[in-house]
Amino acid sequence: MSTMVPVGVVTVSDRAFRGIYQDQGGPGIEAALARILATPWRPARRLVPDERPAIEAALAELADVEGCPLVVTTGGTGPAPRDVTPEATAAVCDRMLPGFAELMRAVSLRAVPTAILSRQVAGTRGSCLIVNLPGKPSAIAECLDAVFPAIPYCIDLIGGPRLETDPAACVAFRPKGA
């Protein structure tokens, strides 16, 4: 029996944190991952307010304590003063991977002109890849579909577990022999 790989799912939202409305971003991430991943996995969920210390603590805990090879966030990536997810992510990462954000914005720009306002980032912390996504469930799926072909190989390169995808949903790219 294989071990379930923990995958961090972080929703950053003051209103969802306070219970004013139900989180739709976290479930949107989980639905997309359930469709994409063939490797047995389980969500390690966090719901935090738009506060840098809370976001940084959640990301560090998921990477360092929970051992998540992948942490995906939703929310807090716009230009509003309380949108600090990119700053929190950069603060906890060892290396930034700007190609993820470039591709996600390019894909989102096909759907909405306001995609240029998105400030999502991606980076690594040890053997964990952290990727910021938009908050809208349809945009979450669209962005994950765009970048996921590179995620398993990235996790291989940083020393994480081998993640396999369902080829009907996503074909992961790995160089021959990897």
**Residue 109 vs residues 70, 89, 114, 178: alpha-carbon distances, Å:** 25, 23, 7, 33
pLDDT of residue 134: 92
pLDDT of residue 176: 86
pLDDT of residue 1: 43
**What is the distance between the alpha carbons of residues 170 and 153, in angstroms, rounded to a whole number?**
13
Give pTM, 2 decimals.
Answer: 0.96
> Are the beta carbons of 19 and 54 closer than 8 angstroms?
no
> Are the beta carbons of 126 and 64 closer than 8 angstroms?
yes
Q: Which residues of the chain have pLDDT under 70?
A: 1-2
Phi-psi region of 2 (alpha: psi -120 to 50; beta: other; left: phi over 0): beta
pLDDT tens for each residue of 131-152:
999 988 889 999 999 999 999 9
**What is the distance between the alpha carbons of residues 122 and 101, in angstroms, rounded to a whole number?**
7
pLDDT of residue 137: 87
> Are the beta carbons of 85 and 10 closer than 8 angstroms?
no
